[in-house]
Structure 1
Amino acid sequence: MIKGTCHCGQISYEFNDTPPYANRCNCSICRRLGTLWIYSDASNIKLEGLDDSTSISYSHGDQELDFRTCNRCGTTILWQQLATPGEGRMAVNLNMADLDVVNSIRIRHFDGADTWTHLD
């Protein structure tokens, strides 16, 4: 299990899966957010403190993904499907975990800006 928390501790997650790698994406939003994504089905991710009063929702482009950010400290927490929030594929920001956990997971670089393929 991987545990993560935003900087102020208001929102946290438990990731109950084993990610084969973490994804560093260079698309316009991920590059600006500085996120490091790990993915699973939403049923494998337990969220604490995340609701509309504690997080800011943002969607752009094709309006398919809902990015959530802590409204207190500004940490980007996750993205989920806008059409089915809390269901299906979800990503959480591995940068919210302890540094030793982050360093133990292989990082792949994804070209979300152009080719939609891994660069490594």
Structure 2
Amino acid sequence: MIKGQCHCGTISYEYRDTPPYANRCNCSICRRLGALWIYSDASNITINGLDDSTSISYSHGDMELDFRTCNKCGTTILWQSLETPGEGRMALNLNMADLNVINEIRVRHFDGADTWTHLD
């Protein structure tokens, strides 16, 4: 299990899956957020402290993804589907985990800005 929390500790997650890799995406939002994404079905993820009073919701472009950010410390926590929040595929920001956990997971570079393929 991978555990992570935002900088102030208000929002945390438990990831009950084994990521084959983490994605560093260069699309306009991911590049600016500096997020390192791991993915799983929402049924493998528990989010603690996430609600409309503790996080900011942001969507852009095709308006399909809901990026959630702690409104106290500004840490981006996850993205999920706007259509089915809390269900289906979800991405967590691995940068919220301990550094020793982050260092054990292979990082792949994803070209979300242009080709929608991995660059490695």
Q: TM-score w.r.t. structure 2 length?
A: 1.00
Q: Percent identity?
A: 86
Deviations 1:40-99 (A, max 9, x none): 000000000000000000000000000000000000000000000000000000000000
Match of 2:8 in 1: 8
Q: Which amino acid aligns with 1:18?
A: T
Aligned residues: 120
Q: TM-score w.r.t. structure 1 length?
A: 1.00
Cα RMSD (Å) of the superposition? 0.2
Match of 1:95 in 2: 95
Match of 1:58 in 2: 58
Task: Give the 3-state SS of the residue equivalent to 1:101 in structure 2.
Answer: helix
Structure 1 residue runs of 5 or longer lacking an equivalent are none
Distance 1:54 1:43 in 2: 22
Task: Give the 3-state SS of the residue equivalent to 1:31 in structure 2.
Answer: helix
Match of 2:23 in 1: 23
Consecutive aligned runs of 4 or more in structure 1 exceeding 3 Å deviation: none
Structure 2 residue runs of 5 or longer lacking an equivalent are none
